[in-house]
A and B are shown apart, each in its own frame.
Chain A
C-alpha cells in the first residue's frame, strides 16, 4: 500500500473513531449515582439557585447534614434559576435530573401535575420527622394540592417596605411615621417625593413601586379588600379592585410617587441609586442596598395580606425508591431543625418556624422581618401551566393603569385574557 494511501486510511480511521466517540458521549448521561441502598451511602443530587451569600449559608447547612449522618450525602449543584426551569423537566425525563430541587411555590402545582415532583405527605404524617410542628401554617397550605403536600419549606419570607433612613430623616420622618394603612403609605411616599425644579419629573421618588410585578399587584388588591386569582378562579374584576387600582393610579399619575415601566430588578436599581426612598421587597434588599452603600430600615406592608417568597425543597421523580425519598425527608427535616434555621438567618432570610427566639437570629433586623411571616401569601393559587402568560397580561395591564389608562376597561380586558388561559389549564 502506498504511504499516502496508508496515511489517508489512518486519518479516516481516526475520524471514524472521533465520530463514534462523539456519538457515544452525546448519548451518555451525567446522572449522579443515587443508590438509596439502606445500608450504604446514597448520594442525593440537589439543584438550587442561591449563588450569593445565601448560597454559602446553604452549603454550610448541607455540609453539616452530610457530617451528621453517614447514610446520605447531599451533593449540591448551584445553577441560575432560569437554567433550572429550562433543564428540570428534560433532565428528569432523561433520567439524569436532581433528587431534590429548590423551586418556588408558583411552580409546585405545575410540576406536581406533570408527575415531576412527588408527594412528601409522609414527611408530615410520619412521626419520626419532628421539625415540622412549628412551621407557619400558611407555608404548608401553599404546597398542598388535592390533599397531598409536595414541598418542605426551604426559604420563605414576606415582602416588606424597606427604606433609606437618610432620605427618611431628611424628610423629617421618624419611626413614629411608619404607615399602618395604604393611605398613610401613599402620604409618606408623597412626603419623600422631591421635584425640586418642578418639571413634573421628580429627582427623588417616594417609593420604587414596580408596576410589572404580579405579586405586588396581588398585595395591592388584597389590601384593598379584593382578590386576584385564588384556587384557579379569576377574581380580577370587582368593584373593590377597581377602587383600589384607581387609588394607586392616582398615586402614580398625580402624586408621581414612583416611576412606571419597572419590574422588581429595575426597582432595586432605582432604590440602590438613591433615587427612591422606599421599596417593597424581600430581605435580599438588605445586601443589595449594602452593595450601594445604603443601610436600610424596614416596616410591614400596611395590611395583613402581603405577597411572599416561598421556596421549597421538592422531591423529584428521580427518587424511585422509598429509601431515596427517606433521604429527601431526612434532609428537609435537618434543614428545618432549630440549629439549621438559626444558621439560615445568616442569609437574612427569617426562619420557617415560629419557635426561635429573636435573640438567636444572626442579625437584629431578622426579628422584624420574621414578624411579617404570618402575613405572607402566594400571590395566585391554583395555576399550573399559565403562570408566565398570566403575569405577562397583568404586567401589561398594571403598566397601562399606572400610566393613566382606564382602570375598568383594562381590568376587564386582562380578566378576559386570563379566563382564556385558565380554560386551557
Chain B
C-alpha cells in the first residue's frame, strides 16, 4: 500500500452548500428577506460583542500607537516615533529575543509531550485510562496565576519542597531555578508545558480517534512496525490537528505573561522579560500607553507571520498529499 494517507480536514463545514434538491428562495422574495433579517439577527450578538470587545479596542490601540498617549493625557500624534523606538530600545529588543526563545522552546515541547501522552492514553488496553486522562487534564483547568504561584512556592530555593527533596535524594543542592538567569526561562517554559499539555493532548486524542483503524491494520499486514506506522499513518492523520495545535501553542507562547509576572517578574536580570510583560510595564508603570500599543502591534505582526507560514506549509502538504 501507499505510504501516504489522505486525511481531509473538516473544512468542508464552512464550504457546505444546500442540498441539490432543496428549493432556493427567490431573490427579493418575502421569504428571502425574512431569512436575511433572521440571519442578521443571529449574527448581530456576535458582531456586537466583537465590535465592543475586539474591534474597537484594536483600532483604538492602533490609533494611540502613533501618539504619546499616557493613558490620561491628551494624546499627541508623533508619527512612527514609537515604532522607531522599538528598534533602539535595548530592553524591548531583549524582550523580543526572550519571547522568541520562549516560543521556540515551549511550542515544540508542549506538542511532543501532548502527542506522546495522547498516544499512550489512546490505548484501549491501558488500565484506569479515564482517571489518568482526567488527572493529566486537571492542570489546564486551574488558572495560570494559581499554578504559577504554587510552583513559585514549590521551587523556592530556601523554603520550597522541590529543592528540599532534591537535596535529600541527590545529596546536593539544586540551582535556584527562578533566580538564576540560566535556569529561569527553562523553568517558566516547563511550568507552562505542565499546565497546558493536557489540553493539547485531548485535541490529539480526538485527532487520533478520527484515523481509521483499517489503515493501521493494513499497515500492520504490510509489515510496518510501530515506528513506521507512527510516521506513515499517525503523523499524516494528525496533520490538520497539528496545524491547529501549532498555531494555538505558538500564539499562546507569544502572549506569555501571567506565569512570568508571578514567578519571576521578568527577572532575574531581565532573562524572562517577554514582549507582553514589556507592554504591561510600559503601559501601566511607565505611563507610555502609546509605546505599549505599538509593541502590541509588533507582537500581533509576529504572531500573524507565524500563523500564515504555518497555514501555507499545511496547504502545500495537503496539495502534495492530494
Contact = CB atoms under 8 A, between A and B. Distances in A.
A19 B44 contact: yes
B159 interface: yes
A395 B288 contact: no
Given A86-B284, A396-B267, A93 B71 contact: yes
Contacts of B91: 389
A53 interface: no
Interface stretch (A154-162, A164-172, A236-244, A262-270): A262-270
A273 B158 contact: yes
A96 to B, nearest CB: 14
B42 interface: yes
B257 to A, nearest CB: 12
Contacts of B51: 23
Interface in A1-42: 5, 8-9, 11-13, 15-16, 18-20, 22-23, 26-27
Interface residues of B, number: 43
Best-buried of B52, B158, B267, B270 by chain A (most CB within 10 Å)? B158
Interface string A192-226: 00000000010000000000100000000000000
B37 to A, nearest CB: 7
A356 interface: no
B284 A85 contact: yes
B48 A396 contact: no
Interface residues of A, number: 50
B156 A23 contact: no
Given A12-B40, A13-B41, A261-B179, A85 B285 contact: yes
B70 interface: yes
Given A19-B49, A20-B48, A388 B285 contact: yes
Interface in A103-131: 110, 114-116
Contact of A19 (B38, B45, B70): B45
A22 B44 CA distance: 11
Contacts of A386: 286
Nearest to B153: A269
Contacts of A387: 285
A89 B72 CA distance: 6
B286 A259 contact: no
Contacts of A85: 284-285
B41 A270 contact: no
A346 to B, nearest CB: 29
A107 to B, nearest CB: 9
Interface in B12-65: 31, 34, 37-42, 44-45, 47-49, 51-53
B72 A93 contact: yes
Contacts of B287: 89, 110, 114, 384-385
Interface string B160-178: 0000000000000100101
B134 interface: no
A307 interface: no
Question: 4 tightest A-B contacts by CB?
Answer: A12-B41, A261-B179, A19-B48, A89-B71
Given A86-B284, A261-B157, 13 more contacts: A5-B38, A23-B51, A85-B285, A89-B70, A89-B287, A261-B178, A266-B156, A275-B158, A275-B159, A385-B286, A392-B270, A396-B268, A399-B269
Interface of A: 5, 8-9, 11-13, 15-16, 18-20, 22-23, 26-27, 85-86, 89-90, 92-93, 110, 114-116, 201, 212, 259-263, 266, 269-270, 273, 275, 317, 384-389, 392, 395-396, 399-400, 420
